[in-house]
A and B are shown apart, each in its own frame.
Chain A
Amino acid sequence: AQSVTQPDIHITVSEGASLELRCNYSYGATPYLFWYVQSPGQGLQLLLKYFSGDTLVQGIKGFEAEFKRSQSSFNLRKPSVHWSDAAEYFCAVGSILTGGGNKLTFGTGTQLKVEL
């Protein structure tokens, strides 16, 4: 069965500092990988996704993530964090369902706090 591990429950960074959120997955085939962000009281917004091709993917809001098959990782990075980035971040792996569509398995999330 597929699974996702986000080892950091909470992370605090200073505004302007770089950020890396860790994500490790377990999946038998080529994974479909996603990062979502959830701001307080809001739904989930897709930051970026990896299906195939270039292992470094760019997303919205200046985020990027790198797929490393050998490490089963899909870490999220941002070179300079803004106070508005404070939110909860979820990594997810998608498996293709018979007949189409995909099932997302989420990690437990990483809560990001940004110090001014």
Chain B
Amino acid sequence: EAQVTQNPRYLITVTGKKLTVTCSQNMNHEYMSWYRQDPGLGLRQIYYSMNVEVTDKGDVPEGYKVSRKEKRNFPLILESPSPNQTSLYFCASSLRDRDSYEQYFGPGTRLTVT
């Protein structure tokens, strides 16, 4: 089944404790992206990646890091989480083909930073 998976689905952590949220897709998509969803703000892009070893900042990259060492994986790293990073996070992927710009979303990771 074609899908985007994220782990963990739920995470409660404390301020300053480094964490990684994994994202993996099995559709051989070149493009991957991370979004955060906050009430009243919709989804905002954090980082994206065009392909392996190619990443760039989205609209709200502060406090986050990403890496793309393999085509299928795109982990999101919070090196020193703060309470304002409490949010619902989504990973998405798509082809780079102009006729296939539909982004497929993972199930989301709900992060709480205390």
Q: Are A101 and B42 in contact (CB under 8 A)?
A: no
Query: A45 to chain B: which residues have CB within 8 Å?
Result: 105
Q: Does A42 contact B (CB under 8 A)?
A: yes
Contact A109 B96, beta carbon cutoff 8 Å: no
Report how far A96 CA is from B33 CA in the complex, Å: 14
Chain B, interface size category, equals 20 to 34
Is A28 in the interface zone, CB < 8 Å from B? no
The answer to whether residues A94 and B50 also contact, given A100-B31, A102-B94 and a CB cut-off of 8 A, is no
B44 at the interface (CB under 8 A from A): yes
Interface pair B40/A108, CB less than 8 Å apart: yes
CA–CA, A97 to B53, complex, Å? 16
A10 CB, min distance to chain B CBs, angstroms: 12
Q: Answer whether residue B81 sits at the interface, using C-beta atoms and an 8 A cutoff.
A: no
Contact of B50 among A9, A90, A97 (CB under 8 A): A97
In the assembled complex, B58 has its CB within 8 A of some CB on chain A: yes
Chain B 76-102 near chain A by CB (<8 Å), digits 1 or 0? 000000000000001010101111011
Chain A residues with CB under 8 Å of B22's CB are none
Query: Which 4 pairs from chain A and chain B are nearest by CB?
Result: A100-B96, A101-B31, A106-B42, A44-B105
